[in-house]
Structure 1
Amino acid sequence: MSTSQPDASRRLADDRATPDELLHACPLETSAEDLVLASGRDITPRTLAWAERKLASEGHAALDKLLP
Structure 2
Amino acid sequence: MPTSEPGADRPSPDRATPDKLLHTRTGTEVSPEDMVLATGRDLTPRNLEWARRKLAEEGPGAIEKLLP
TM-score (norm 1): 0.68
**Whole-angstrom CA distance in 2 between matches of 1:49 and 1:35:** 11
Given residue 18 of structure 2, which amino acid in structure 1 is its aligned partner?
Answer: P
Structure 2 runs not aligned, ≥5 long: 1-10
Deviations 1:7-66 (A, max 9, x none): xxxxxxx83122122233423221100000001100011111110000000012210111
Are 1:64 and 2:67 matched, yes or no? Answer: no
Aligned to 1:46: 46
Equivalent residue letter for 2:17: T
Percent identity, aligned pairs only? 62
Deviates more, 1:21-30 or 1:31-40: 21-30
Question: Which amino acid counterpart does residue 33 of structure 1 have in structure 2?
Answer: E
Task: Give, as a single letter, the amino acid of the residue that structure 1 aligns with 2:57.
Answer: S
CA distance in 2, matches of 1:22, 1:63: 15
Cα RMSD between the aligned structures? 1.7
TM-score by length of 2: 0.68
User: Which 4+ stretches in 1 moved above 4 angstroms?
Assistant: none
